[in-house]
Amino acid sequence: MSDVVTQAFINPLLAPLVEPPHNGNPYPLYHKYREEYPTHYMEPGVWTFTRYKDILAVLRDDRFSNDPRNSIFREFASDDPNAVSPFEQMAGLVLLFTDPPDHTRMRNLVNKAFTRRTVEELRPHVQDLVNDLLDNVGSDGMDVVADFAYPLPALVICELMGVPVEDRDLFKGLSGDVAPILDPVLPPEKMQKALVALSQFIVYFAGLIEKRRTDPKDDLLSALIAAEEGGDRLTTEELFALCVLVFIAGHETTQSLIGNGLLALLRNREQFELLRDDNSLMRNAIEELLRYDSPVQLTARTALQDIDVAGVTVKKGQQVVTLLGAGNRDPEQFTDPDRLDITRDKPQVVSFGAGVHFCLGAPLARLEAQIAFTELLRRFPNMELAAEPEWRNTLTLHGMNSLKVRF
């Protein structure tokens, strides 16, 4: 990729956010950005939006594409304008990076597995997994990420997808290696590591898909293979891509929701105690924790035509980076936005996106978080921080490597 493209993504607004102290607390910078340049443009074609209303306007507008192949940056990626990179080939198969009608077709085929009713049926099983994990932590304390927040969603997704128990150790660390590929600021060595991990995912699921074709089980993968809508089925390549997406998105976001949310509660003790003593606040608390420190901090869209939005004109092919974390702390939308308040009246967050690309796995993430926080606060009512958390140097997926607590 040329230096032009590389420099385009070394955005002066985004680059500082992947380094301490902003990787752990980007919100002071977000406030500065909203006040000084709520819409920011950088050549050769990147906009950054920070206001809640502008973010929603972009995410709900079908004139914006989620397919990177529509971006102006294709012009700089290769000397051959007709060349299609491996990433672009994969992007065209991933639900996250497709537009209607392909997105509609694929989403209709997988929607049934993630309805609120279907997810609610998993509650007893998720409860068992939470209990098993917490039964095995030490009596003095634990690393919440390593001992609980990391393994819980990994176990849920492995069981959901039908990954055999004996294969589950193969996935240790893989989703964390792939996750940075979503960042707009990514060093070449991290990109290489992400691509290697991605290939390991694909190789594994290629074998498992073949097994499920001949020997279906009661799992999501078998259901996806059999799924049909109006005569359409998912292709083998689409199945590969969907398996990777479900695993990474479902794992990384839930892990960070639990970790970020617990840290917020521990640093706001009165909110910790309020939730500990009144479990009826749990559903609302999860929404407030998503708002307060979102596990997903940004998402991008590409203009399919010239579009007037947020007081500016976004030209065809230009990208808009919407800073979801900034939108969730916008004082025009939320009163006293830097205060954690689990009684806040139904906060309408953008943490799971909006529009046709609203996160498919949001009901599952919420369910896991509700059960996780209920048990953590019930079992460890006097939990407190044992050390400063260790934040990852990533931007899109915002979370920690370590969160140590004592009981």
Token duo for residue 97: 């990076």
Among all chains, which residue has been given the structure tokens 């919420």?
Answer: 366
Tens of pLDDT, residue by residue over 233-252, are 778 888 888 888 888 878 88
Domain 3-402 CATH (choose: 1.10.3720.10, 3.10.105.10, 3.40.630.30, 1.10.630.10): 1.10.630.10
- Binned at pLDDT 50, 70 and 90, residue 311 comes out as very high
Domain boundaries, the chain: 3-402
Q: Using the predicted structure, report yes or no on whether residue 164 has a pLDDT greater than 60.
A: yes
Bridge partner list, 404: 143
- DSSP for residue 83: -
H or E segment and range at residue 34:
helix 27-36
How many beta carbons lie within 10 A of that of residue 333, not counting itself?
A: 19
d(CA 390, CA 400): 6
Give the lowest-confidence range in 197-206, 251-260, 272-281, 349-358: 197-206
How many beta carbons lie within 10 A of that of residue 270, not counting itself?
A: 10
How many beta carbons lie within 10 A of that of residue 300, not counting itself?
A: 20
319: closest CA among 39, 45, 107? 45
d(CA 258, CA 365): 9
d(CA 126, CA 119): 10
The residues, ordered by sequence, that sit 6+ positions from 5 with a Cβ below 8 Å of its Cβ are 73, 76, 77
Tens of pLDDT, residue by residue over 366-403, are 999 999 999 999 999 999 999 999 999 888 999 999 99
d(CA 254, CA 58): 25
Tens of pLDDT, residue by residue over 138-150, are 889 999 999 999 9
d(CA 224, CA 120): 19
